[in-house]
Amino acid sequence: MKKKEFKIDGETFNVWYWEGPKDGRVFHWAHANGFNGATYENFLSRLSKYFHVYAWDGRLHGLSQNLAKPVDGRLYDGYSQDLIKIIDTINSNHEKPVVLAGHSFGASLCVKAEASLRDKIECIILADPVFFTPLQRTACRTLRFLGFKLPRNLYLSQNALKRKNFWRNSAALLDEYSKKSLFKNWDEYSLKNYVKYGTTKQGNGIKLACSPELESQIFRESENTFLSNHIISLKTPTYIFSAQYGSPPSSKSAIWRSKYVIAKTRISGANHFFPVERAATFSEMIIELLC
């Protein structure tokens, strides 16, 4: 895993790189909200046997710091434009189409960016994408208004603002997170990468690279961003992988209507974090699909 810096419109983005075969194809991975590219190393490094693999740290995530904040209400537009420019650069460097892939929020960005990248990508891989519909948004708002406590993902935006955001060092943060139920199925190495590359210095301690405020904003705008028309209008072969448990809202009608959603696969026994928790299995599925 190597660090690369991509200069985009005067701003510097961190992009992780796993070198592949000399004439290998090219793969780029867009991480979930609050994550960073290095979190997925157990998954992505396995793909490097066949692909040149890239994984960005999105704006104000991971090591992509000291960048302008996304515009409130236009967050998806800003992040998708960032992703388009990253893929432009990778495509130009390799002179080959790119496999465009992502998880959760990152998967949604792939769909939003697709129309601008059709001549630069060969296919799209989506791992548990977030596709709200107006009806699903209304249902979530109604349940919150009525005080429903479940499902827990009703309150992702609200709960993100409650996150602790200062620790004396990474060891203290790692110890705290290793005891959380959210990370109970994570391997130690992935959790260490999530912490090591997802924090920055603050005074005599550390804080989260993706602030609770930004994480909350992304969750909020995901609920208010409708991509059904983008799904229906896809012109790039697209493959969707979903978890058996805890998947985010999905625009099933749009997926069904899209002529370019080639297959949708549910991973038995998996939750939303399967690209991390089932890294070996998921990488085998991708290799079998593409190779």
Interval 75-118: pLDDT, tens: 999 999 999 999 999 999 999 999 999 999 999 999 999 999 99
| Res 229: pLDDT | 97
Q: What is the Cα–Cα distance from 108 to 56, expressed in whole angstroms?
A: 15
Instruction: Compute CA distances 212 → 35, 253, 276, whole Å.
Output: 12, 32, 21
Backbone angles phi, psi at 126, to 5 degrees: -115, 120
Residue partners of 158: CB distance under 8 A and separation at least 6: 216
% of the chain at pLDDT higher than 70? 100
Token digits of residue 153? 């993902």
DSSP secondary structure letter of residue 152:
G
Q: What is the Cα–Cα distance from 204 to 213, expressed in whole angstroms?
A: 21
Residue partners of 229: CB distance under 8 A and separation at least 6: 254
Backbone angles phi, psi at 18, to 5 degrees: -115, 115
Confidence of residue 152 (pLDDT cuts 50, 70, 90): confident
| Res 9: pLDDT | 93
Confidence of residue 151 (pLDDT cuts 50, 70, 90): confident
Yes or no: say if 16 and 38 are a contact pair by the CB < 8 Å rule.
yes
| Res 153: pLDDT | 83
62-87 pLDDT, tens digit per residue, is: 999 999 999 999 999 999 999 999 99
**Is residue 26 pLDDT above 90, yes or no?**
yes
Burial class (CB in 10 A: 0-12, 13-18, 19+), 270: buried
Look at residue 228 and give its three-state secondary structure.
helix
Mean of pLDDT values over 175-197? 95
Token digits of residue 157? 């935006």
137-149 pLDDT, tens digit per residue, is: 999 999 999 998 8
| Res 150: pLDDT | 79
Yes or no: say if 131 and 61 are a contact pair by the CB < 8 Å rule.
no
Mean of pLDDT values over 41-70? 97
**Is residue 213 pLDDT above 90, yes or no?**
yes
Count of other CB atoms within 10 angstroms of residue 212: 17
| Res 141: pLDDT | 93
pTM score: 0.96
Mean of pLDDT values over 225-242? 97
Look at residue 157 and give its three-state secondary structure.
helix
- What does the mean pLDDT of the chain come to? 96
% of the chain at pLDDT higher than 90? 96
Q: What is the Cα–Cα distance from 33 to 49, expressed in whole angstroms?
A: 27
| Res 217: pLDDT | 97
Q: Which residue has the tokens 């005599």?
A: 204
Yes or no: say if 50 and 23 are a contact pair by the CB < 8 Å rule.
no
Q: What is the Cα–Cα distance from 260 to 254, expressed in whole angstroms?
A: 11
Q: What is the Cα–Cα distance from 194 to 101, expressed in whole angstroms?
A: 19
Backbone angles phi, psi at 222, to 5 degrees: -60, -40
Which residue did the predictor score with more confidence, 202 or 153?
202
DSSP state string for 6-40: EEETTEEEEEEEE---TT-EEEEEEPPTT--GGGG
